[in-house]
Amino acid sequence: MRLLNWLGLANRDLQNEVDEEFAFHLSERAKQLRAGGMDSISADRAAREAFGDLARYRAEALLALSAAHLRRRAWTLGALSSAAACILGLVAGAAALSHRDGLVVNGLREDVARLQGELAPFRGQGAVPLAQQVRFVTVRGAVCNPRVWTVPSDVDLTLRAMITKSGGLTPTARGEVTLTSNGRATPSSKVLTMSQWLDPDRAEIPVPGFVTIDVR
Amino acid sequence: MKGTVEMMVLGVLADADRHGLEIFDEISRRSDGILNVAEGSLYPALKRMESQGLISSEWRASRNNRRARYYRLSEAGRRQFLNKERVWTEFAAAVGKVVGGGASNPSAPGGPFEGVLPCAS
């Protein structure tokens, strides 16, 4: 019954609205007839007769309202279905990738070495500025939907992340990095779980301009 | 005739917001009481038009301070009214000529109103 109500097929609110609207019509019509000299009983009867088949019109009105209500709900259902499909897709993709060689956390050591090599030219600088297009993806085996990852300037965090400057999901630049903000390296004690930080909803943090990384 | 009630509702809501009883009375007044239909039949049409986005409604205090559901023409409804008003006028004139024993049927193939469907929703 709750589902039917949500879908508008047995919506008590809709029924009450139609009933109240019909009652208003009947009582106002009867009032007009009384004002014209008709007695109260006759006026009520004449108002009902002029209105016609109340049960039929009530049902037809409710059907029209329910159809509209159902269309609105269909949008919600469609959006929920799409969201559920996306989540399932991500989970399935993550599960598949986690079983591929080179993308699991066990390979982290090699990846760190490779990342260190790639970032070697910047080592003397202590920190490497990253453009906003740089994306971070977890290397725990699960894969985050690559999105622009930005970090507020006042946030300290340490991530094990895969970085790709091309925007693609490539395993060529993975490693454990420490993010620093405003020149301050973050303590490793503040490691956050990936599930928290890779939530697509929470990943959309206001852009600070840039962040810096330092290879550990 | 299909679409007639919708056309009349659009017409009486074009100049003012009204509740169901006022809509019915205004239609009756403008038609000099010729259109004699059950008053309740108006409401399913109103709900359909609302679900189509042609009109919107809200509860308001009526003139005698009772809660009443008022209907208002939406922009889509106003566009539809203006469009159909012209078609309807032409159609009504054409039907009048035909019924009055005029020349050829203007809605017939090749006629000036071929394909005109004045009240299709």
ipTM summary value: 0.77
Tokens in use for A89? 């897709």
pTM: 0.50
Burial class (CB in 10 A: 0-12, 13-18, 19+), A45: middle
Please give chain B's pLDDT, 121 residues, in tens.
667 888 899 999 999 999 999 999 999 998 888 777 789 999 999 999 998 999 999 999 988 889 999 999 999 999 988 888 877 777 777 877 777 665 444 444 544 444 443 333 3
- By Cβ distance, the residue of B20, B38, B51 closest to A64 is B51
Which strand (E) or helix (H) includes residue A87? helix A54-98
Tokens in use for A3? 């589902």
Instruction: Enumerate the residues of chain A whose CB falls inside 8 A of the CB of residue B46.
Output: 61
- By Cβ distance, the residue of B21, B40, B44 closest to A64 is B44
